[in-house]
Structure 1
Amino acid sequence: MAKFTTTDDVTIDYTIYGLGQPIILVAGYSGNQATWVAQIDVLVANGLQVITYDRRNHGKSDTVNYGMRLSRHGKDLAELISVLQLKKQILLGHSMGASTIWAYLSLFGDEGVSAVITEDQVPTMLQDDTWPFGLFHADMGTLIQAIEKLPHTKLTRLKISDDIKRAIGENYQPFDFQFNMPLLLNSAVQDWRDVVRRERTPHLYLAGGESPLWPAKHAELAAKMTKYGQYVIFDGAGHISHIEVPEMFNHAVLEFINQL
C-alpha cells in the first residue's frame, strides 16, 4: 500500500499490483479497495497493472468534512493519475465509483483514457420524461426518501463466496452513512448524460439483471448514447456483480479490453 496527499490536504490510500496496461478500479459508496479482491489477481495475470484506491472518506483514506462532492472526487482521481504518471489508463468504476469517473471525464476529458467500464450506475439518478431509471424510481419530489432508503437496502441478489466475504470482512473499514450524506445527495442530483454523449473512448456498461436500484435496461440505453458503447447484463445478479458473479464479470471485462 502507498499514500499520496491531495492538493486540499487529504491523504489517499492506494495499492499497485503487477505491470502492464494500467487499470484503475474505483469502488462505490461506502466500499473500499478490498471489494475488488476477486478481480485483482485475474487482471494482473492477464497483463494489466491494477491500481486500487480508497476515495476520500472511504477505507483507509482520510475522512474530512469537506470535498463531499463528485467534482472533488473526480479531481482526486486526476491527482492520483498525475502522481503515478499514468498514460492511457483504463478506468473501471462501480456505482458511485462510476460517477467519480464521469466527474473526472467532465473536468479533464478522455484524451488520456484508453477505455471506460462502469458497473450498475445510471448517468442520472432522477427519473423524468427523458429518463425512466431513477433510483427506486425517484424523481426530484421523492429524492430524499430514496436517499434515506439506500443504506438499508440489500444490494446483492446472489450468494457471495466464503472467500470473498472473508477477504472483505478482514479489510472492513467503518463508514459513517449519516456523516457522508452530503456526498450521496450530491451524487444523486448529477446528470452525466452530456458527458456520456461526448465520450470518444470505448465504454462498457455492466448491469445486474436483478439490481434493486434500477432496471438493468439502463445499460443498454446508456450504451446507445455513447459513440463506442457496449453493454453486458448479468442475469440474476444484483447491484454488485463483481462479487456476486466474479467469473462472468472478469470474463466480460477482459473480453472488452482484448478488443481495444
Structure 2
Amino acid sequence: MPVAGDGRFPDPPGNGTRGRAVVTPRSQECAHDVRAWAVRGLGACTPVCGPGGRCGRLIGTAPTGMIASRVCGSAESEEPRRASRAGGPAGRGGCAEEDGMPGVRSGHATTNDGVRLHYLEAGSGPDMLLVPGWSQTAAQWRHQIADFARTHHVIAVDHRGHGGSDRPDHGYRIARLATDIRELVGLLDLTEVVWVAHSMGCAVAWSYWDLFGGDRLARLVLFDEPAVLIRQPYWPDGLAERLGALYGLGQISDVVAGLRDPRSDAEALSADFLDAMWTPAAAEADRQWVLAQNLLLPREYAGRLLLDNVMQDWRDVLPRITVPTLVIGGNDSVIPSTAARSVASAIPGAALRILGERGSHFAFWENPDAFNREVRSFLDTPVDAGL
C-alpha cells in the first residue's frame, strides 16, 4: 500500500497546487498516515496551533479546490455561516477563496451529541445539499459545486467520521446520519432544499423522509442506490435482480469482518472494493485520490456503518415521497440499472435517467458534464410540467 510522501498520489487532474497550508481535522501523527496525505500527498508535517491554542498538523499544500479545516480566522469558535441569497457567503472571518473554486468556503456545525460536521459552501440562490455515500467526502463533489454554485447556494457535507468532520466512537448508523443532516439544515437555516445524494446518501435521504417527512425539502436527486441491498432466499426468482440487491448475508459479513478485524488488510480490501466502482477509463490518479478520501473514515467505523446500511429496506418509504424526484443510474455501474428503475417506479411521479458513457458508480466524477446536465434539466423543469 502506498504511503505518505512516496510520490504516487498526484492531485486530481487539472487541480494544480498552491502553497497554502491546511490543518488536519484532528491532531495526529502524520508520517505515513493516509489521513495526512488525503488532503495532499506530501509527507512533511509540522505541528501548528491556531486561534485559542487549537493544535493540528500542517500538511504541505492543498490541491486546488480542496479545503480541510481553516487556520485563518477563528475557525474553531466560528458559528455556522449562512450564505446570503443575494450576495454570496455571509458571516465574519473565514479563509480566502479557493484557487480554481471561487467562493468555496469551509465551515463546521455541531450536532446535539457534540459532533462537529464539516461542510463546503459556495454560491447563492436556492439551497442545494450534496450528500455523499459511504466513506465518500464533500470534496468529491467538487465538479458539482463548481457548476451549481453559479445558480444555487450549495452545501456539501462530510458525514460524521468522514472527511473533515469529527470522528466520534458512536453514531455510525443511517438514522443518526439523517438526524445530523436535519440538524445541519436547521443550523444553516436551509429551506426548499434540493437534496442531491450519491449511493448511501440516498439511504440517508430515505431515512430523513421516514423520520422527518419532507420538512424543508423541495426536490430529491437520487444516484445509484438500491432500496434494498441484501437479497433474501425466500424471494421469488428475479426479484433480487430487479431490485439490484447485490449481497448475500455471508458476503457482506465477510466484507464487514475484513474492515473491522485489525489483523486484516482493510486498506487493500477498501481499494479492491472501490476498483469495481470505476470504468476501465478512470485515471489511476483519480482512483488513488478517491481511495485516500475513503480512508479518512477509520475502517472500524466504516465497517459499522456499512453493516447498518446494507441491512436496511427502504421499499416502504419510497411510495410516501411527495417531492419531485429524479433517480439516476448508470449503464457502467456496479449497481445494475434495474435498481434505479425499481426505485423510480416506486416513487410517485419520479423521473428516471440512465447514464451511458462512463456511467459508473462514480459517474458524477468520471462524467460530470453528463451527470450535471441531467440534474440541471430536472431542476429547470417546472413542477407542474411533469417530469
Alignment partner of 1:62: what SS?
coil
Question: 1:56–1:63: 8 Å Cα contact kept in structure 2?
Answer: yes
Q: 2:183 aligns with which of 49, 73, 79?
A: 79
Counterpart position of 1:215: 336
The answer on 1:132 being equivalent to 2:236 is: no
Question: 2:135–2:293: 8 Å Cα contact kept in structure 1?
Answer: no
| TM alignment of 1:114-193, pairs within 5 A | 114-128=218-232, 129=235, 131-133=239-241, 137-145=246-254, 147=256, 151=270, 152-153=272-273, 154=275, 155-160=277-282, 174-193=296-315
Question: 2:331–2:337: 8 Å Cα contact kept in structure 1?
Answer: yes
Task: Mark the CA change 1:256 to 1:10 in structure 2 (over 3 Å): closer, same or farther.
Answer: same
Alignment partner of 2:149: what SS?
helix
The answer on 1:230 being equivalent to 2:351 is: yes
Question: 1:92–1:117: 8 Å Cα contact kept in structure 2?
Answer: yes
Moved more, 72-81 or 191-200: 191-200
Counterpart position of 1:70: 174
1:200-235 deviation line (CA, Å, top 9, x unaligned): 0111111121222x3111111211111021111112
The answer on 1:26 being equivalent to 2:131 is: yes
C-alpha displacement of 1:178 = 3.1
Q: Answer 1 or 2: higher relative contact order, Cα 8 Å, separation at least 6.
A: 1
Question: 1:37–1:167: 8 Å Cα contact kept in structure 2?
Answer: no
C-alpha displacement of 1:98 = 1.4
Question: 2:231–2:245: 8 Å Cα contact kept in structure 1?
Answer: no
Task: Mark the CA change 1:225 to 1:246 in structure 2 (over 3 Å): closer, same or farther.
Answer: same
C-alpha displacement of 1:22 = 0.5
Q: Which structure 2 segments of 5+ residues have no match?
A: 1-105, 260-268, 383-387
Counterpart position of 2:326: 204
Q: Give the CA RMSD over aligned residues.
A: 2.5
Q: 1:257 aligns with which of 379, 383, 386?
A: 379
Q: 2:144 aligns with which of 34, 39, 42?
A: 39
2: CA distance between counterparts of 1:136 and 1:105? Answer: 21
Question: 2:194–2:219: 8 Å Cα contact kept in structure 1?
Answer: yes
2: CA distance between counterparts of 1:171 and 1:139? Answer: 27
C-alpha displacement of 1:96 = 1.1
Counterpart position of 1:49: 153
Q: Which structure 1 segments of 5+ residues have no match?
A: none
2: CA distance between counterparts of 1:73 and 1:170? Answer: 22
1: CA distance between counterparts of 2:283 and 2:139? Answer: 14
1: CA distance between counterparts of 2:376 and 2:281? Answer: 23
Task: Mark the CA change 1:102 to 1:126 in structure 2 (over 3 Å): closer, same or farther.
Answer: same
Counterpart position of 2:201: 97
Matched letter for residue 247 of structure 2: A
Question: 1:160–1:243: 8 Å Cα contact kept in structure 2?
Answer: no
Return the index of the structure with the highest Cα Rg.
2
More helix by share: 1
- TM-score computed with the length of structure 2 as normaliser: 0.62
C-alpha displacement of 1:158 = 4.8
- TM-score computed with the length of structure 1 as normaliser: 0.90
Task: Mark the CA change 1:165 to 1:186 in structure 2 (over 3 Å): closer, same or farther.
Answer: closer
| TM alignment of 1:5-20, pairs within 5 A | 5-20=110-125
C-alpha displacement of 1:172 = 8.0
C-alpha displacement of 1:170 = 9.5
Q: 1:88 aligns with which of 170, 189, 192?
A: 192
Matched letter for residue 136 of structure 2: G
Matched letter for residue 184 of structure 1: L
- Number of residue-to-residue matches in the alignment: 258
